[in-house]
Amino acid sequence: MHKLPLLVEPEDLKPRLREPSLLIVDLCQANNYAEAHIPGAVHLEYANLLLGAKPAPGLLPDEARLSATLSGIGLTPDKHIVAYDVEGGGRACRFIWTLDALGHPASSLLNGGLFAWANEGHPLLQQPAEPAPSNYQAVIGDQVVATRDYIEQHLNDGQVALLDARTPEEYNGTNVRAARGGHIPGAVNLNWLDTVDRTRNYRLLPDDALLAMLAKLGLRDDQEVITYCQTHHRSAHSYVMLRHLGFDKAKGYPGAWAEWGNNPDTPVET
């Protein structure tokens, strides 16, 4: 059968649930997974995708920890991942971004996540999946990972743009969640929640609407667009959105505002 796209609809996933090449990964809270999940989905604890240490908890864990986490869900290089959550896609997209950082070749976001799947009458199970552990070896690359130093070096580079996925209040510094408020100089703001349709179970808005929003902000698909938020959770959703729309040079900044705003030496705009 044909390969799934980056953004997959519930009705397209349903007939393929039993395909051995697919690994469906649930990024919901453990209690949500226990209540109901997509048949065959394995549960992945979101915290295992993060370093979790201050001042920048959103940084990637080391390769050994990632290897153990991904081996625990039975991931192998030939598996096509389908990720979902129940909070609009941020957790699932952070997983997809992590897989991209590891060079994993194939992954998809379930458009609308568990909201769309459950609300549109697709099957659910309570019986937990028991994956056979694998021996996945995580190797972190730099193709989709932007560091603080990298961003500072490219602040005046017209081919590198910054997309801040936080709320307008965080962006303009009236809601301060670090030692300093504001945003990275030159960054444009697009709240990640403005890119989803809550009336359609938190699916992404239509492509033409999203492209118009990005064009209004001056973003182009030939640029390297770096997304960030507070911990690269919300901005991971923006990263996947950009990839879906053909922004092939998209990157994510996992240090995010927690790192940038807590560093006294980084430049800030409000």
Question: Which residues are identified as catalytic?
Answer: 229
Strand partners, 23: 81
* Beta carbons of 242 and 227 less than 8 angstroms apart: yes
- State the burial class of residue 78 (Cβ atoms within 10 Å of its Cβ: 0-12, 13-18, 19+): exposed
State the helix-helix crossing angle for 234-244 and 207-216, rounded to 10 degrees.
110
Query: Cα(19)–Cα(235) distance, rounded to whole angstroms?
Result: 31
Structure tokens at 214: 């990005």
Query: Cα(241)–Cα(250) distance, rounded to whole angstroms?
Result: 10
| Preceding amide of 55 cis, omega within 30 | yes
Find, among 94, 105, 108, the residue nearest to 237 by Cα: 94
Query: Cα(83)–Cα(62) distance, rounded to whole angstroms?
Result: 22
